[in-house]
Amino acid sequence: MAESFETESRKLLGRLRDAMASEGAGQERLDKITTLIASSMGCEVCSIYLFRDEKTLELCATEGLNKASVHETRMKLGEGLVGRVAKRGNVINTSDAPQSPGFRFMPETGEEIYSSFVGIPIQRIGETLGVLVAQSKTAREFTADEVYALEVVAMVLAEMTELGIFVGDGAAMSARHSQPVLSRGTVGQEGVAEGNVWLHEPRVVVSNPIADDPEVEAIRLTAAVEELRIGVDQMLTMAGNDKEQREVIEAYRMFANSKGWMRRMLDSISSGLSAEAAVEKEQSTARARMNGQSDAYLRERLSDLDDLSNRLLRILTGQGSDTGAEMPENPILVARNIGPAELLDYGRKLRGIVLEGGSVGSHAAIIARALAIPLLVHVGRITNDAVNGDHIMVDGEQGIVHLRPEDAVAAAFRDKIAMQAAAQERYSSIRDQPAQAKCGTVIGLDMNAGLMADLPSLENSGAEGVGLFRTELQFLVRNKMPKRSELSALYARVLDAAQGKRVVFRTLDIGSDKVLPYMKPNDEPNPALGWRAIRVGLDKPGVMRMQLQALIRAANGRPLTVMFPFVAQFEEFRAARAEMDKTLAREERLGHILPSKIEVGAMLETPSLAFAPTKFFEEVEFLSIGGNDLKQFFFAADRENERVRRRYDTLNVSYLTFLEGIVKRCQETNTSLSFCGEDAGRPVEALCFAAIGFRQLSMRPASIGPVKSLLRRCNLDDVLAVINDARDSGEMSVRSAVMEYVRAQHQS
């Protein structure tokens, strides 16, 4: 880049800083900027468009166009050249704007006499805030140096917008992080919560985008990058032989040592940006370049670059991850993503969790369910929109987040919370009563658990026992394999807390979306159908044996119930059962006290097991339907994929008929059967399961009250008749017919 150009760029940024330092309201400052840029670039027009809402841009200032069009001219995202720049996040540079694809003529601006057009996205860390436009009468493309200068200016405008320098009248110039925001996501754990934002990774604030001395800034950047590189090398040493960690850190190291990355940041500093702004400009440019990529590898690299850039910004600004801010009352955690150990550190202090990433089957989701904390995942841009302490409401029923809600929205939300609280009071009044339907049939209601913290709910919820204790959580939250003695002590505490009530321990269910940090990762094209659960246990008998020994010793003469997960065929169950028998014999030889009674069952999560030989149903002592997995395999619809997950209804006729077949096979062999999973905790679904023959359901503790309440109001014979009538009439789902029946019971 030419020295003269760098000098001109620095002069322009210096004038911008002077304009910002002068007295004046936001509109006045914005007007000065457009005049300065037009003058410095030697063009007749400079305009600034900012978003007034997610889909609409507004002309907020101009030099050269009709002043009366300011705040009057608006365009939708993707509309016209300006809208296309905003939508794509890319520069448009043309010598003949009227003939360019997507051009929209706006007569009120008087722009028809200008041929040349360059549009630059005003971006901050991947978020487009608006568009900077320069135009001239002369038919020419703007040079690469001119485009670069405008990109530098756009970067500064983005930082100034974030800092609230352009606050004025109207939605487009309202203060950042002051407007209500409604975001949608995917429900990871149901429930509703109101509280205040607590950012897991506080935003780095760049308050000095324009530099006084480029040489000083270059020295600061060089020193910070060197500190970053040393830190990455130390991380690599600490990773030891952990292949997965080393791969991630090697990617960091590649970026940290990239000469191109360093050169581009130094070029930005030469143009007048501070070291911090140069880092953010490169981060924003890379995000714009890679954000649209569907390639998983490239998306991971973008995440690596984001993390590295944030580390570098914290070094430059001195803003560590601990900013000194105090956690607000009723904190609702907002983060890009979070690991299970970090989430457990917060414990029950959190009222809710909102993640930009994550998945309904992630480790964080498992912990959130165990702690009964409402969780939403895939909530786009929430970490950009939210500020520590912001008022936030999480609707884990509808998958909606209200950030800084208006009074009317907050009032309606509180009414919903109050109604739920009133309902919980009603449910507590029947806590100690059986889930007995009007026809006299009694349904056993158990709870799911995975942490010691869950066990108080056994008494408070009215659950009759623990239908599923997920043993993998103790493996997932550690950096190394737990010891047998540690597991035995934990399982003993679980049995102590259950006070004689039945606890079904599911053996280690890992693989698919639950990968242990200390196990060698397996690159499988479809991990949900891959090496997981019982398959891992049978291939790694030492791990299974260690866990079975821990369970037997924990029982210490008490009854023990063990369930093997993801059994797909009879042979797998027989092999696992044989491992249990060998372990029992070995424990007896060693002099350990054996359980007074032992039940060994299987989780039916694959359609294949429903068609196992009758001998299997005779040998297995109990079966539990794993509803979440069984449903995704039955419909061939990935439960992590929102595009297909919602297409299929649990109360679909074909699925209910399939479940009925399992019920009948278990009745013929007198095999105990339960249904376990999210659907068991949904009252209407639970009612239908009971009607087709299930006599045991297991669910999260908070669902027991609503399910019991509905069961006690209904006659299962009548519900079965409604299901059969809907099925015989050719309905695809029995939901609407059963809902109509339920409403009638509610009114009577």
Q: Which residues are catalytic?
A: 363, 676
> How far lies 391's CA from each of 7, 148, 193, 408, in Å?
46, 39, 11, 14
CB–CB of 650/659 below 8 Å?
A: no
Closest CA to 563 of 486, 470, 440, 677: 470
For the chain, the farthest-separated pair of C-alpha atoms sits apart, in whole angstroms, at: 96
Cα end-to-end distance, the chain, whole Å: 81
d(CA 30, CA 26): 6
Taking residue 117's Cβ as centre, other Cβ atoms within 10 Å add up to 25
> Can you tell me the distance from the alpha carbon of 602 to that of 626, in angstroms, rounded to the nearest whole number?
10
Total residues found in the chain within this entry: 748
Q: How many angstroms separate the CA atoms of 274 and 231, rounded?
A: 23
Distance of alpha carbon 473 from alpha carbon 366, whole angstroms: 8
Q: How is residue 523 annotated by DSSP?
A: -
Helix (H) or strand (E) segment spanning residue 537: helix 534-539
CA distance linking residue 336 with residue 42, whole number of Å:
43
> What strand order describes the sheet that includes 45-53?
74-76, 56-63, 45-53, 127-136, 116-124, 92-94
Strand partners, 117: 94, 135
H helices within 328-479, ranges in order?
340-346, 363-371, 382-385, 407-429, 456-460, 473-476
Instruction: Return the CA Rg of the chain.
Output: 31
Question: For residue 132, what are its two tokens?
Answer: 């900077």
Task: List, in sequence order, every residue forming a beta bridge with 375; answer none if it has no partner.
Answer: 189, 353
Planar angle of CA 305, 313, 337, nearest 5 degrees: 55
Q: Which amino acid is at 356?
A: E
What type of residue sits at position 62? Answer: T
DSSP 652: B
Cβ pair 364, 375 in contact under 8 A: yes
